[in-house]
Amino acid sequence: MTAHGPDNDFNFLEVGRAAFDLSDRGVSGRAAARTGRRLLYTDRGIYRPGETVELDGAGARRQGRRDIRPADRLAAAAARRDRGREAPARARPAGRASSELRAGRAMRASAPGVSSCGSTRRRRRSATAEFQVEDFVPPQLKVELTAAGELIRPGEAFPVEVTARYYYGAPGAGLGIEAEAMIALDDNPFPNYPDFQFGLVGEEFSGDRRDVEAPATDDDGKAKLSVALSDLPDLTRPLAATIRVGVFEPSGRAVSETLTRPIRQRALFIGLRSPAGADAVPEGAEATLEVIALDPKGTPIMAKGLRFELLRETWEYRWYSVNGTWRHKSHIRSQPIDAGTVDVGADGPAKLGRQLPAGRYRWEVTDAATGAQSSLRFHVGWWVEAALPDVPDKLEAALDKPSYQAGETAKLFRQGTVRRRGRAGDRLGSDPCRCAR
């Protein structure tokens, strides 16, 4: 649903997906103003001393219940520091709902957090907007990172070369360096196979950070780092390391640059893909799975005797008490349906297929020799959603088609996540309501 206004102004609201409801978690929005609300915006978030801060104001006032009119124009503005002391600033009204103020010399880096306050002419209602005033200068160094290797292997040294050079041409000699490696899951481990799932689908990793020893730059402004990552978590999903290097300018400020490389812990990686993608497999159709095997560089290889297993998933909610407060968590109960072995060649993916009734399912493929594992979830039937809601007191609702022609019949499926008796109501239409039952 879109709304259009004058001067090509527009906004939109997506109504095709479920609302993100946080009311059951003790989170609420801003309280509605009784008589009106003022909003204040700045053109940037940071300014140098002496620069002009451009302010934009917006607001509304109620007349009755439905009439909402634009707010009065912004009449005054002043700048105050975080501690409440007013900074040297002056305001000049610049038309309807806009103003300017000058960031004075007293608003320096010693008081980075600054609030601006505006008020309307008719009534003393104020709005605030925060910005920073810093005495900053552009970077003086250009830092470059190069690495000959394309992969990081656990326990092996990965060399990284650092080059620092001033923008006026001289090398950044004798400068200190700090370096770290941030380890996280690789969302796209093999770019040539973006639709394949590698590793177990439910596996999680919050990330890790490792310090890297770094020498100072030499007379040519260069330094060599040796990144050796050991004691990595034993995960089935591929990992990647982002190496961040900061070279300190003579003033003490660090200019940083990053370099990302994949981490390869195994000799074999199993990729799984469903031709249906994220869509549901129609009832009566065959649920197909494509299986590939890749080496650490992403080249297809032959893998024989991979064990596969097909499981049906049943999602359940369990309640438990913590300090007198009831909480819930979801639990997946897996029921084996089929198992066997499959051979994967280097010339293309191997295929598996089964006809299944409506429900949620999971493929799992394992290589006993290397310990590689991968899994893929899919669902069968138009009324089955890909995942359950994360709260047990909401309904599942699905339509058999994404759109309809005039006169067609729409099929609606609804199901509660908790079995209980009650009455359900349906409503067709947005405004006005077509029918309700």
How does pLDDT run across 55-101, given as a tens digit for each residue?
777 665 555 444 334 444 444 444 555 444 555 444 444 444 444 55
Residues in the chain with pLDDT values less than 50:
64-78, 82-84, 88-99, 102-122, 431
The pTM assigned to this predicted structure is 0.64
> Which residues are paired to 270 by β-bridges?
293
Is the peptide bond preceding residue 432 cis, with omega within 30 degrees of 0?
yes
- Closest listed residue to residue 12, CA positions, set 20, 22, 4: 4
Tokens of 4: 């259009």
- Which pLDDT tens digit goes with each residue over 23-61? 666 666 666 666 666 777 788 888 777 777 777 776 655
Domains of the chain, each with CATH number or no CATH: 35-133 (2.60.40.1930), 141-196+203-263 (2.60.40.1940), 269-380 (2.60.40.10)
334 φ, ψ to 5°?
Answer: -100, 130
Secondary structure of 110-176 in HEC code, one letter for each residue: CCCCEEEEEEECCCCCEEEEEEEECCCCCCCEEEEEECCCCCECCCCEEEEEEEEEECCCCECCCCC
Nearest partner of 232 among 199, 293, 280, 184, judged by Cα: 184
CB contact at 8 A, 15 and 1: yes
Number of neighbouring beta carbons within 10 Å of residue 263 = 22
- How much is the pLDDT for 423? 61
d(CA 215, CA 255): 16
